[in-house]
Amino acid sequence: MFTFALNNKPVTLAADGEMPLLWALRDVLGLKGTKYGCGVGRCGICTVLVDGAPQHACMLPLSQAAGKSVLSVEGLAEKYPALVQAWIAAQVPQCGYCQGGQLMAAAALLAKRNNPTDAEIDAALSGVLCRCGTYPRIRRAIKLVAQGVATPGMALAPALPPAPDAGIALNDFIRVHADDSVTVVINHSEMGQGALSSLAVLAAEELEVDLNRIRTEFAPADNKYKNPLWGQQFTGGSSSVRGEWQPLRQHAAAAREVLIAAALQRWGARRDACRAGHGRVVHTPSGKELRYSALAADAAQLRPPGRLKLKEPGEFRLIGQPIPRLDIPDMVAGRTLYGIDVARPGMSVATVVRCPVFGGRV
């Protein structure tokens, strides 16, 4: 039995003392924010703080964590809020996979040096491999903390709570929930290029919903979610926004129009007397309004008009604005799940068998 403090809470594990702390965090305790990297203590991606000192969790036996205080990325916002705020303000992550290790290394540095030089930042952070090359933004974020620029106004954005229901589907890409949130199905992979945020903006623009009411969900494997430029479910070639510029906006506009049509039926009003805005349909002459959640069930029974009018550029509220990426708060909180984080009962994992000697043959 081994007991230690994890993110300021006591944890007791009945496990082999030689088990790496990384395995205990991820596979026993289910905290996926600390990532697997090289497995041999070289890349630094699995860095955690043990009694305030950075340690590679893949190389630290569980027995050596006993009686100590361990901080993982999931506990960072509570202990180092300014650092998390600065990471979001500087929009540091790209794919985000390495950011748990980067944040822990930055926290250890700032605990020792409240105003580190560029050379000190580089020395402390270059030990954590970032294949996206986010080091300039990391340096900028650390300087924000040192200068006291990171304020509560940059606080970690709370994720929307889990949807209260399955939602009412208005089409294959748009679902409306009882809490007035909207799920947008994203049919492209997010690899740090911003596709998730960009496509959510396209949908929110035409649907007339505020971005803070948008949830995103990746599409299942299905031909209806294929890349319109490539004819198959594929992400690459800078095709996400180019490919979905018309189709996804049309899906969102279609959802908007059936919601308005449902309101027209309730009120017996004309189309030119009603408009959509901020997740509601408004009857302009009277000021009456109905929330999308109140209209969704009726709207799902209606067909959109044959010709959809998309917004003109001069009407855009969101498209073209400098909007922070929607997925970064989850990345810096250790909430983002990557493929390697997914486990299913009975799941098999394929690995490449590597030859143990140079020049060997199958």
Phi then psi for residue 198, to 5 deg, are -65, -45
pLDDT recorded at residue 352 = 87
Q: Rounded CA gap, 354 and 343, in Å?
A: 24
Q: Per the structure block, which two tokens stand in for 310?
A: 């998309």
Phi then psi for residue 75, to 5 deg, are -100, 5
Domain ranges of the chain: 2-156+333-341, 168-315
pLDDT recorded at residue 149 = 73
Whether 47 and 29 have beta carbons less than 8 Å apart is answered as: no
CA–CA distance from 309 to each of 9, 206, 207, 304 (Å)?
A: 55, 10, 12, 11
Instruction: Report helix, strand or coil for 12.
Output: strand
* SS3 per-residue string spanning 203-244: HHHHHCCCHHHEEEEECCCCHHHCECCCCECCCCCCCHHHHH
Which of 125, 122, 81 is CA-nearest to residue 102? 125
CA–CA distance from 66 to each of 1, 2, 79, 81 (Å)?
A: 9, 5, 21, 26
End-to-end CA gap in the chain: 43
Q: Rounded CA gap, 326 and 186, in Å?
A: 13
pLDDT recorded at residue 154 = 46
pLDDT recorded at residue 153 = 46
In tens digits, the chain (362 residues) has pLDDT values of 899 999 999 999 999 999 999 999 999 999 999 999 999 999 999 999 999 999 999 999 999 999 999 999 999 999 999 999 999 999 999 999 999 999 999 999 999 999 999 999 999 999 999 999 999 999 999 999 998 875 544 444 556 788 899 999 999 999 999 999 999 999 999 999 999 999 999 999 999 999 999 999 999 999 999 999 999 998 999 999 999 999 999 999 999 999 999 999 999 999 999 999 999 999 999 999 999 999 999 999 999 998 999 999 999 999 999 999 999 999 999 999 999 999 899 999 888 888 889 998 87
Q: Record the pTM.
A: 0.87
Which DSSP category does 362 fall into?
-
Q: Per the structure block, which two tokens stand in for 361?
A: 């043959």
- How many beta carbons lie within 10 A of that of residue 253, not counting itself? 21
Instruction: Report helix, strand or coil for 194.
Output: coil
Instruction: Report helix, strand or coil for 334.
Output: coil
Instruction: Report helix, strand or coil for 70.
Output: strand
Is domain 168-315 given the CATH code 3.30.365.10 in the classification?
yes
pLDDT recorded at residue 262 = 98
Residues in a beta bridge with 175? 169, 183
CATH of 2-156+333-341, one of 3.30.540.10, 3.40.50.1820, 3.10.20.30, 3.40.50.360: 3.10.20.30
Instruction: Report helix, strand or coil for 168.
Output: strand
Map tokens 């996926």 to a residue. 32
